[in-house]
């Protein structure tokens, strides 16, 4: 994982992170990969399609999702991480807000932590600092249960940029090396359609922060609102948004449609 980050910083290369939700209720692929063997098979197929990182999550963060207990989350993610680690050397990311899950996932073979809560839970920074793993710090307003109720910003791009810089400062103070930090504006997390479009347009501002920017727009409801399309019919919109984000400086992309996104980004990279 560190070599991926080093490449991005040194050569401006890019990487796709394939999404592996091992939850019964994820918004875009709910329940499809909640058996260990099916989950590993899907991870390996995303690797074959060009993913360099697999992001494994056992708690849905879709708007309105109910939280799960540590025990439930561990039961979902740990066997999949162990099985994938036995079969592949791909970088594994644990998508969790809970320090206990982060620690168990790292012990099971995860290489990085993706936290939609930006390591704000008590003990999360300590776990990641001690393990020395790269981290992705995401912005959100509110909690998954309430975040879409009535999000408010004066200047969404500026507020997200300030939040991400402060989150990174807090992690560095807590012992996480600056070269292990990625930041993410958190599309759809406490944002209106207008907020999401402003963030996409303002991705270049976020890329002026001294950290690689990861974007996750894949199949999100912003495209449902903009285009009136159902979740399984948002691939073109998602790839288009990834291309826009790339052109504004983002270099990490959390996606469902790995092959299509990789093709688009290869074209972008060939002319940049």
Q: Please state the separation of Cα 151 from the chain's center in Å.
A: 21
d(CA 202, CA 206): 7
d(CA 38, CA 43): 9
Query: Closer to ligand 9MG at the Cβ: 99 or 271?
Result: 99
CA torsion through residues 189, 192, 195, 196, sign: positive
205 assigned to active site: no
Catalytic residue among 220, 229, 234, 251: 220
> Interface residues for ligand 9MG in 39-58 (CB under 6 A)?
57
Residue 271 CB, nearest distance to ligand 9MG (Å)?
Answer: 26
Site string (151-180) toward ligand 9MG, x via CB under 6 A: ------------------------------
Catalytic residue among 52, 140, 251, 254: 254
Residue 136 CB, nearest distance to ligand 9MG (Å)?
Answer: 5
Nearest Cα residue to 136 out of 5, 239, 29, 243: 5
Query: Closer to ligand 9MG at the Cβ: 34 or 184?
Result: 184
Query: Closer to ligand 9MG at the Cβ: 121 or 272?
Result: 121
Query: Closer to ligand 9MG at the Cβ: 57 or 212?
Result: 57
- Exactly one of 34, 73, 111, 184 binds ligand 9MG (CB under 6 A); which one? 184
Residues 6+ positions from 213 with CB-CB distance below 8 Å: 182, 183, 184, 185, 203, 206, 207, 245, 249, 250, 251, 252
Helix (H, G, I), strand (E, B) or coil at 200: helix
Backbone angles phi, psi at 61, to 5 degrees: -115, 15
CA distances from 240 to 15, 60, 223, 266 (A): 16, 25, 11, 13
Query: Closer to ligand 9MG at the Cβ: 34 or 95?
Result: 95
Residue 68 CB, nearest distance to ligand 9MG (Å)?
Answer: 14
> Interface residues for ligand 9MG in 241-260 (CB under 6 A)?
254
d(CA 230, CA 208): 34
By CB under 6 A, is residue 187 in contact with ligand 9MG?
yes
154 assigned to active site: no
d(CA 163, CA 207): 14
- Exactly one of 138, 164, 199, 222 binds ligand 9MG (CB under 6 A); which one? 138
> Interface residues for ligand 9MG in 76-135 (CB under 6 A)?
95, 114, 116
- Which residue has the CB atom at the shortest distance from ligand 9MG? 216
Helix (H, G, I), strand (E, B) or coil at 128: helix
Residues 6+ positions from 58 with CB-CB distance below 8 Å: 22, 23, 68, 72, 73, 74, 75, 76, 77, 95, 96, 101
Q: Which residue has the tokens 């790995």?
A: 258
Site string (215-234) toward ligand 9MG, x via CB under 6 A: -x------------------
Binding site for ligand 9MG (CB under 6 A): 57, 61, 95, 114, 116, 136, 138, 184, 186-187, 214, 216, 254
Catalytic sites, residue numbers: 220, 254
């Amino acid at each position: 994982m560190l070599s991926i980050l080093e490449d991005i910083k040194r050569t401006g290369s890019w990487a796709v992170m394939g999404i592996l939700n091992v939850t019964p209720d994820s918004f875009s692929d709910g329940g499809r990969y909640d058996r260990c063997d099916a989950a590993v098979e899907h991870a390996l197929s995303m690797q074959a399609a060009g993913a360099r990182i697999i992001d494994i999550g056992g708690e849905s963060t879709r708007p309105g999702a109910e939280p799960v207990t540590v025990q439930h989350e561990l039961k979902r993610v740990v066997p999949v991480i162990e099985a994938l680690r036995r079969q592949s050397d791909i970088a594994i990311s644990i998508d969790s807000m809970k320090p206990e899950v982060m620690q168990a996932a790292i012990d099971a073979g995860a290489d990085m932590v993706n936290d939609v809560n930006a390591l704000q839970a008590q003990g999360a920074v300590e776990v990641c600092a001690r393990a020395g793993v790269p981290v992705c710090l995401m912005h959100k307003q509110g909690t998954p249960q309430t975040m879409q109720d009535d999000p408010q910003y004066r200047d969404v791009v500026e507020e997200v940029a300030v939040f991400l810089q402060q989150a990174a400062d807090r992690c560095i103070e807590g012992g996480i090396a600056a070269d292990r930090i990625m930041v993410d504006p958190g599309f759809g997390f406490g944002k209106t359609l207008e907020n999401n479009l402003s963030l996409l347009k303002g991705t270049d501002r976020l890329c002026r922060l001294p950290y690689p920017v990861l974007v996750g727009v894949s199949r999100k409801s912003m495209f449902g609102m903009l285009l009136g399309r159902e979740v399984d019919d948002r691939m073109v919109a998602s790839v288009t948004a990834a291309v826009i984000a790339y052109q504004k400086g983002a270099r990490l992309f959390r996606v469902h449609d790995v092959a299509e996104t990789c093709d688009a980004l290869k074209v972008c990279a060939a002319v940049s």
